[in-house]
Chains A and B, each alone.
Chain A
């Protein structure tokens, strides 16, 4: 358990009100090299992401978007620079898995559902790391799937679901432990436009209802314009950072 990070979970909605200017993430001079510096995926990135903001990250292939998400999610360590979540250094977290389990929900382009588990079971997987009793886990998973419109697909295996349905299961799964942050890497990249719109509507709705911090990586400008803010990256740098006018009135 990470008491440092677990600020009064039931009051997620109050968080922004308590301290309206607080940042979820803050990066200064963030660098990430691969292969002993042969590849520089991130070169001195500065970034601030306030709590509860919907932010899109765009940029050409290979510019470092996925790398950035992985650093935010503590799946990898930066080569240099500082990166903090609510003021706590992410690379120095004593238990990154607890941080991921409690604060972070991941949504991937290719869904990454576990093929041998039903929709209902996939959603419960993250809850196995918590002390929740199994009946409660199942109830919660059922409710989450209901909230993404899949109450009639509970016992389907991923192979029997459409792409849009799979991504909705994945979104339900990312919400399993009621995280404060969603990190979505091209969540609509493998979907047709109708399904893409549906998934975006869903993510937007969840973000607004729960006042979650949503960091969404995309190639697609139309997708990016759903966000309140768009950061454009090229070659490991953030080259532009603009408000879209979304979300500010809400």
Chain B
């Protein structure tokens, strides 16, 4: 037997209490893993999508909701002449309910624009022209919608046909229904509306030039903002909101975990005051008792963290497999996020143990032993 045995005996003493506490922390940690993983996934998929479309700068307005705010198609003409711009491609991107799928990315692209170029046909063909009532599906989108080449597909009230399945080399691209911009504008009855302009720069444009180009665009087009694709979405409003929301929700969950562990450890200390007195009478140092309490709560944190990471990963997997999320964003759960989450959990344990440990060090050994 060793000191560690004493720590674990303390924890299994009140099994139900320990289990419930572990559940509390692990749910908090699961929330951290899931929310941060999803929000980072959102950023990463957007950035990867831009790169896959061959975009260097994106002009859009992401301040309000999950999809960019629409603006007039003429915005493109106001910026196309700027220096260093090699090509532009207008898009209308929206999250729509298509047939049985609640939310899927529908991407209308300027016919002949460069964003079509990176789509690799897996089967079928591309639309013949801008007017053909046809779409191509990203591979995941085809999966989610359960469509193959030749199947009819209904978007809003329009009857279209799936003519091809493509690999877009990025999660968002593969999760999209892709069609020509005029067709989508016609379907949504919004002839002059677009909400994204993908910009390709002339090769060799310096960072400073990119920066000043973005500033020029922002001045010319107050209704949208230019974002450099290589910097991921961190600066965008939407990612900031999602990031802040996920971290603050996580923080709340972690706080609940702290209170749970603290409550449990305080109860343990109060309940075991007579035992603490006995330990002191047997020659244990107060510092040992403090260590005992801190180790117990740190182990609670560690176990809660490990369980939480498993719940979080499982939860995100499950969520990612649901048709409404699948193809929209790819959760980004790296080993680092998991390690940080477990570290947070251990910290939660230690911090929550501080006050109970202090209480345990105030025990007067004589009191419980009278009589």
Contacts and interface: CB of A to CB of B under 8 A. Distances in A.
Interface stretch (A22-30, A83-91, A122-130): A122-130
Interface in A62-112: 66-67, 70, 73, 75-76, 95, 97-98, 100-102, 104, 106, 108-109, 112
A75 B281 contact: yes
Most chain A beta carbons < 10 A, residue from B279, B288, B366: B366
B366 A117 contact: no
A127 to B, nearest CB: 9
Contacts of B284: 97, 101, 125-126, 128-129
B317 interface: no
Contacts of A134: 1-2
B369 A70 contact: yes
Nearest to A117: B9
A124 B282 contact: no
B371 A125 contact: no
A116 B288 contact: no
B127 interface: no
A112 B9 contact: no
B371 A66 contact: yes
B223 interface: no
Contacts of A58: none
A100 B9 CA distance: 24
B278 A114 contact: yes
A128 B5 CA distance: 11
Given A116-B13, A134-B2, A129 B283 contact: yes
B81 interface: no
Interface residues of A, number: 34
Contacts, number: 81
Contacts of A66: 369-371
B278 A121 contact: no
Nearest to A129: B283
A138 interface: yes
A177 interface: yes
Given A101-B282, A112-B274, A125-B282, A70 B3 contact: no
Contact of B280 (A97, A173, A177): A97
Nearest to B275: A114
A241 B13 CA distance: 46
A102 B13 CA distance: 29
B365 interface: yes
Nearest to B9: A116
B283 A98 contact: yes
A143 to B, nearest CB: 15
Contacts of B1: 117, 120-121, 124, 128, 134, 137-138
B288 A129 contact: yes
A126 B288 CA distance: 12
A108 B370 CA distance: 10
Contacts of A67: 366, 370
Given A97-B284, A117-B9, A134-B1, A125 B279 contact: yes
Interface string B266-286: 000000001100111111111
B9 A101 contact: no
Contacts of B280: 75, 97, 100
B314 interface: no
Contacts of A106: 281-282
B5 A75 contact: no
Most chain B beta carbons < 10 A, residue from A104, A109, A129: A129
Given A98-B283, A114-B278, A128 B6 contact: yes
A75 B283 contact: no
A117 B7 CA distance: 12
Contacts of B275: 114
Contacts of B365: 70, 75-76
B364 interface: yes
Given A70-B370, A116-B12, A129-B283, 18 more contacts: A66-B369, A75-B365, A76-B364, A97-B283, A100-B281, A101-B282, A104-B283, A112-B278, A114-B275, A125-B6, A125-B279, A125-B282, A126-B282, A126-B284, A128-B288, A129-B284, A134-B2, A177-B283
Q: Ordered nearest first, which 9 A-B pairs have the shortest CB separation?
A: A101-B283, A76-B366, A100-B283, A126-B282, A97-B285, A75-B365, A116-B9, A75-B366, A70-B366
25 contacts: A66-B371, A67-B366, A70-B366, A70-B369, A75-B365, A75-B369, A76-B365, A76-B366, A95-B285, A97-B283, A97-B284, A97-B286, A98-B283, A100-B281, A109-B371, A121-B1, A121-B5, A125-B6, A125-B279, A128-B2, A128-B284, A129-B285, A134-B2, A138-B1, A176-B282
